[in-house]
Structure 1
Amino acid sequence: MTVPLSILDLAPISSGSDAGQALRNTVDLARRAERFGYHRYWVAEHHFADGVASAAPAVLIGLILAGTDRIRVGSGAVQVGHQTALSIVESFGLLDAVHPGRLDLGLGRSGQRRAEAVAALAAPRPAPRTGSQVVDGLLIPPPFDFSKLVASPRWGAYAALLQQPEAVSPDFAEVVDDIRALIAGTYARDGVDVHATPGEGAKVELWILGSSAGQSATVAGERGLPFAANYHVSPATVLEAVEAYRAAFRPSEVLDHPYVLVSADVVVAPTTAEARHLASGYGLWVHSIRTGRGAIPFPTPAEAAAAPWTAEDQALVQDRLDTQFVGTPAEVAAQLHTLQRATSADELLVTTITHDHTDRVRSFALLAEEWHA
């Protein structure tokens, strides 16, 4: 079954370039994606990364909406731990007021207080799987251990800067419910009705994003909302995530059956060799994230080849390298069909990073042509 194909964009900054050019590239790519036939165009929220410019999704979405006509545009995802429900609803309500009916509000659980995150990672858990599995043709690598990264002083400094002093992030389920109530016009606090303008009555499509069988999957299922699962960042847990969502699902006014979107990282070129060459900076880029430096500007293939690299470095990113789909249009489309079959996804979301914008545009163009053939 050929399902809709959509795009996730991080507004990547290439080595030798800057944030302004990265953002102009994002708007250009969104315009082209609309012509290529992609279903929706989402932008991420990342902070403290020299190589990523998508720090303020609502602002970037506004630029993309203004530059396109039909394609759905949204967040993948707003990190709700760093904003109030009201600020999120007002921001996206403003966008919907100007561009009605085209907006997706994707919510992510990121932004827990650091102490909570460290405690959750330290809590007793089943022994992690140590080997890779192949499920219906899809590689499921062993899980990556984020505990050292989350417990690092750098991570703590970043988390502190993203919240007001003494601020306490509410429970994710509470935030989701508050957002839904504000949009529906049913929110009340201490006996007082509260109305968001703009925001109330906005025709936004609400999504929950998650990478595991945790609270995000459960909240999405119990509230009957569509769910986006993360194979491109957490390939080890994608099957658990979609299974937990489907198990928790209850029909709602939005959906009468589960709707699952699954992400994948891809690079497409006319030949396999060229695609691998263009993707060769990916390992170095992921390594910078997983060592706590934040994403570096995406390197050229020559810069990646010249960088010091050890077996330990390789092991740190092997799961991501093994699950990136790199090759010709036919090869990558076949891998995406496998991902869809193994997860029973209703839609796929692809992200691509190359050093040169023209190569990235061509990758999406070649994939769309193959997918819709």
Structure 2
Amino acid sequence: MTVPLSILDLSPISEGSDAASALRNTVDLARHAEGWGFQRYWVAEHHFVAVASSSPAVLIGQIAAATERIHVGAAAVQLGHTTAVAAVESFGTLDAFFPGRIDLGVGRSGQRRREALAAPPPKAPAAPAQWRDVDGVVVPAPFDVSAQFRNPTLVARMGALQQPRAESPDFATQVDDILAMLDGGFAANGIESHVVPGERAPLRPWVFGSSKGQSAEVAGSRGLPFVASYHITPATALDAVDAYRNAFRPSQALPEPYVVVSADVVVADDHDTAVHLASSYGRWVHSIRAGNGAVPYPSPDRCEPLTPEQVEVVKDRTATQFVGDPDEVAHRLEALQRVTAADELVVTSVTHRHADRLRSHELLAKRWGLH
């Protein structure tokens, strides 16, 4: 049985375009995605870079208003940069307008970055890990992000996302607070407190994670669905899924584990066209890993090739991007689903031209058998 397929969108800003166009393109893609039969439409949260998905709740409202049935949500609200109360109130508001269609995705990426900054630099480089092929799924060696996290530009931007001297609670505490607020059992410093709107809303947190660390453990131990980011951290996503399943305890909302795995895809009518459309992806990923954040998505017609040194920086991501005609990409997605036993897959697809991105999703939906 084919598992459901969903979409993760960053509202990417293409070279020569602007944020307003990117946001309009997101709403347009969402409308098409609903017609093509995708299960969910999730938007990411990013700041100070050339993607327009910086305010998920606002964007979700626009997408939900422009569609009728598709589930719309965040992938994910960065709890390191906000409060549990703000998340529940904003998504409770969305649920009041669009009952039963809103997904509250949460992640700890902001906390993870601050932990990396506080940690001492490694004394010696670790032994290089080996690339593996797991039944058709490429598992590359991990990419070392420690230098990226110490980039002064990134540090300054992270500081701007926090109130002065603010300290975020532990991620597990925030998730527990969200669950208590939704259930009506929240107390602020021992004082019974009710979140309006939000309390008793039919919202369930979706926990996003990249490794076998805290996110996977929190999702499993609280009986929540888990989303593993193979498209960002292909080296550790399979370990994250295993850790989640090992930690899982049934909850009232979820009697069994529910796993979603992400993949980065570019689909075209033929292999060569897809390869051409994806040829600027490495340049875009390199801009992120250079520490200054994603640049406007380059045109494949004018993009300079990467140097050998730059290729090494991004090869884990380029090797794990699913590029090709519908059959090629579907076969790789089927392998990813088989290896992870995912209950659902979520795809993200970035191309320079909006028409090519629409076509990528349309072809995949038809090949996957969506209705």
TM-score norm. by structure 1 comes to 0.96
Q: Counterpart in 2 of 1:28?
A: 28
Instruction: Within 5 Å, give how 1:178-257 maps onto structure 2.
Output: 178-257=177-256
Shift of 1:192: 1.2
Query: Partners in 2 of 1:325 and 1:128 — Cα distance?
Result: 28
| 352, 368, 371: which one aligns with 2:368 | 371
Q: Is the 8 A contact 1:103 1:205 kept in 2?
A: no
Query: Partners in 1 of 2:336 and 2:120 — Cα distance?
Result: 28
Cα deviations by residue, 1:58-89 (Å, 9 ceiling, x for unpaired): 00000000000000000000000100110111
Please tell me whether residue 324 in structure 1 is matched to residue 321 in structure 2. yes
Letter in 2 for 1:41: Y
Letter in 2 for 1:250: R
Please tell me whether residue 340 in structure 1 is matched to residue 334 in structure 2. no
Q: Is the 8 A contact 2:36 2:365 kept in 1?
A: yes
Shift of 1:153: 1.0
Matched residue of 1:28: which SS?
helix
Once the two structures are overlaid, the 10-residue window that deviates more, 34-43 or 188-197, is 188-197
Shift of 1:316: 0.3
Q: Counterpart in 1 of 2:307?
A: 310
Please tell me whether residue 62 in structure 1 is matched to residue 43 in structure 2. no
Matched residue of 2:236: which SS?
helix
Letter in 2 for 1:146: V
Shift of 1:191: 2.7
Query: Partners in 1 of 2:112 and 2:260 — Cα distance?
Result: 28
Query: Partners in 2 of 1:177 and 1:22 — Cα distance?
Result: 35
Matched residue of 2:346: which SS?
strand
Matched residue of 2:110: which SS?
coil
Q: Counterpart in 2 of 1:294?
A: 293
Give the root-mean-square deviation of aligned CA atoms. 1.6
Query: Partners in 2 of 1:271 and 1:323 — Cα distance?
Result: 19
Q: Counterpart in 2 of 1:357?
A: 354
Shift of 1:254: 1.2
Shift of 1:125: 11
Matched residue of 1:139: which SS?
strand
Letter in 1 for 2:343: D
Query: Partners in 1 of 2:125 and 2:341 — Cα distance?
Result: 26
Q: Is the 8 A contact 1:113 1:169 kept in 2?
A: no
Letter in 2 for 1:137: G
Shift of 1:309: 2.7
Q: Is the 8 A contact 2:137 2:339 kept in 1?
A: yes
Matched residue of 1:232: which SS?
coil
Q: Counterpart in 2 of 1:42?
A: 42
Q: Counterpart in 1 of 2:274?
A: 275
Cα deviations by residue, 1:100-146 (Å, 9 ceiling, x for unpaired): 00010000001128552224574799945522101111110000000
Q: Is the 8 A contact 2:265 2:347 kept in 1?
A: yes
Q: Counterpart in 2 of 1:95?
A: 94
Query: Partners in 1 of 2:100 and 2:208 — Cα distance?
Result: 20
Letter in 1 for 2:350: I
Q: Counterpart in 2 of 1:4?
A: 4
Query: Partners in 2 of 1:13 and 1:273 — Cα distance?
Result: 24
Q: Residue 115 and residue 17 in structure 1: after superposition, are their counterparts in 2 closer, same or farther (change >3 A)?
A: closer
Letter in 2 for 1:265: D
Q: Residue 151 and residue 318 in structure 1: after superposition, are their counterparts in 2 closer, same or farther (change >3 A)?
A: same
Please tell me whether residue 147 in structure 1 is matched to residue 146 in structure 2. yes
Q: Counterpart in 1 of 2:110?
A: 111
Q: Is the 8 A contact 2:131 2:139 kept in 1?
A: yes
Q: Counterpart in 1 of 2:157?
A: 158
Q: Counterpart in 1 of 2:257?
A: 258
